[in-house]
Amino acid sequence: MPDDDTFLIASIDRAERSRHEGNHPFGAVLVLYGTVVLEAGNTVVTDQDSTGHAETNLVRLATRTYARDELAAATLYTSTEPCAMCAGAVYWSGIGRVVYALGEDELLALTGANDENPTMALPCREVFAAGQRPIEVSGPHLRERAVAVHDGFWN
């Protein structure tokens, strides 16, 4: 079975494609039973939808495609730590595990006060801890690779 790094790289590759599609450089994949079953990129710009984050787009697909008990066994891999909105979506979906590459605090250091990404300093672990069910979280990982997809984007 592939390891977390393999799936994180897939999410970072999806983030790169999002950037090439004219969106912000974020991507996510859903893994179930050791296989990538869904992927999504950021669509904030092309859909003119501030909720079009990669993780939220993936959750929408996942909840339409899989039963809640299946999602409990799934892992969402994402190029960047889920923001508060995305963490809420993950929580409500029933997904059992999140693995991320770039931390939200590291993203804030990259973007600064960029109007296109008003990053919140609220770790996903804190959002999940406020809920009634546990969600396993692992990250940050592969920082250099995750930062590279943002290189030159936010200036």
Q: Which residues are catalytic?
A: 55
CB 26 within 8 A of CB 80: yes
User: CA 148 to CA 152: how far, in whole Å?
Assistant: 9
- From the CB of residue 3, how many other CB atoms can be counted at a distance below 10 Å? 7
Q: Which helix (H) or strand (E) holds 19?
A: helix 4-20
Nearest to 29 by CA among 45, 43, 13: 13
DSSP one-letter code for 46: T
